[in-house]
């Protein structure tokens, strides 16, 4: 979930931590952009996330942070009565870029004139944050009641200065019927094809409908789930699981690589606290 400044018209995201939702202008639907961006060579891997804090001084927070994500959640914690999120603009079609961030499907919204004007927003407490994009981790980052879903979708929200502020997390599992959110996507792009970008129109409300618009959720103070593990992120996790068809889940998994950080010990996360 690392962001970069606006560069040119459209930038193909590099593989570096969570998907880089770089602001872009609209790409005509189904038009393929093929470029060869410079690739960032990472010195860490999800399979060895326990070691991040010792391999690079800039990753020290991954080892010493007090609000690291993800964490294990359970029904014994209860559900949040505070920080209730409300969503605006999700019921309108948005344009954006569909790609693979090297670990799975991802989507970045187009921003007119490089601003957040007109994009869907979320409000909680006295803060307004702006939807930047979404990406999928497989398996799920967070376990619930010691159960880990096959995937977890992250809706990344930023403030007016483009700083990551909140992540809306939704667990994904296969069910009996198609999910309208995924049905509107083109065929999945393979994880080894990070150069392909498709212009896509999406109705973001479909994914919120899948989880009853977060009427029940957990929330806590956490971090990004990849180096440098920046803290100060408000996490929202829906109690309800979003179900896909078997075919949709197989397509997601077939275009994904392992991207779940080891769960962190609960410390100063203030789970469900006011």
> What's the per-residue H, E or C state across the chain?
CCCCCCCCCCCCCCCCCCCCCCCECCCCECCEEECCCCCCCCCCCHHHHHHHHHHCHHHHHHHHCCCCCCCCECHHHCCCCCCCCEEECCCCEEEEEEEECCCCEEEEEECHHHCCCCCCEEEECCEEEEEEEEEEEECCCCCECCECCCEEEEEEEECCCCCEEEEEEEEEEECCCCCHHHHCCCCCCCCCCCCEEEEEEEECHHHHHHCHHHCCEEEEEEECCCCCCCEEEEEEEECCCEEECHHHHHHHHHCCCECCCCCCCCCCCCCCCC
pLDDT greater than 60 at residue 2 = no
Name the residue with higher pLDDT: 193 or 41.
193
Q: What is the β-pairing status of strands 231-238 and 164-174?
A: parallel
Find out whether 191 and 10 touch, Cβ atoms under 8 Å.
no
- pLDDT for the residue 117: 76
Where does the pLDDT of residue 36 fall: very low under 50, low under 70, confident under 90, or very high at 90 and above?
Answer: very low
Cα distance between residue 114 and residue 87, in whole Å: 22
Residue count of the chain? 274
Name the percent of the chain lying above pLDDT 90: 82
Q: What is the pLDDT of residue 24?
A: 54
- The predicted structure's pLDDT at residue 205: 98
Count of Cβ atoms closer than 10 Å to residue 178 Cβ: 14
28-37, 48-57, 58-67, 205-214: least confident range = 28-37
Tens digit of pLDDT for each residue in 217-267? Answer: 999 999 999 999 999 999 999 999 999 999 999 999 999 999 999 999 999
Instruction: State the Cα–Cα distance between residues 211 and 215, nearest whole angstrom.
Output: 8
Which among 140, 117, 54, 83 has a CA at the least distance from the CA of 272? 83
Q: Phi and psi at residue 62, in whole multiples of 5°? A: -60, -25
When comparing pLDDT for 56 and 22, which is higher?
56
Alpha-carbon distance of 168 to 137, in angstroms, equals: 13
Residue carrying structure tokens 């497989």: 138
Share of the chain above pLDDT 70, in %: 85
What are 194-212's pLDDT values in tens digits?
A: 999 999 999 999 999 999 9
Q: Would you say residue 6 has pLDDT above 70?
A: no
Return the pLDDT at 114: 63
pLDDT value of position 185: 98
Q: What pTM does this model have?
A: 0.88
């Amino acid at each position: 979930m690392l962001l970069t400044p606006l560069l040119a018209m459209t930038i193909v995201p590099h593989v570096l931590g969570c998907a880089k939702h770089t602001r872009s202008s609209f790409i005509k639907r189904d038009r393929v952009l093929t470029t060869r961006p410079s690739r960032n060579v990472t010195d860490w891997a999800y399979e060895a996330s326990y070691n991040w804090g010792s391999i690079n001084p800039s990753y020290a927070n991954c080892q010493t942070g007090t609000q690291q994500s993800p964490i294990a959640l359970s029904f014994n914690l209860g559900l949040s009565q505070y920080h209730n999120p409300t969503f605006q603009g999700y019921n309108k079609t948005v344009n954006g870029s569909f790609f693979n961030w090297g670990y799975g499907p991802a989507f970045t919204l187009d921003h007119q004139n490089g601003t957040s004007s007109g994009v869907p927003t979320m409000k909680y407490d006295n803060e307004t944050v702006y939807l930047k994009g979404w990406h999928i981790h497989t398996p799920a980052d967070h376990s619930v009641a010691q159960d880990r879903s096959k995937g977890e979708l992250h809706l990344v929200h930023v403030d007016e200065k483009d700083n990551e502020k909140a992540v809306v997390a939704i667990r994904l599992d296969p069910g009996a019927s198609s999910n309208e959110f995924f049905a509107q996507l083109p065929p999945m792009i393979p994880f080894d094809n990070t150069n392909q970008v498709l212009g896509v129109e999406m109705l973001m409300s479909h994914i919120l409908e899948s989880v009853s618009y977060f009427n029940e959720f957990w929330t806590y103070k956490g971090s990004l789930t990849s180096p440098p593990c920046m803290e100060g992120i408000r996490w929202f996790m829906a109690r309800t699981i979003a179900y896909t068809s078997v075919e949709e889940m197989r397509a997601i998994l077939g275009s994904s690589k392992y991207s779940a950080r080891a769960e962190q010990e609960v410390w100063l996360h203030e789970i469900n606290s006011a």
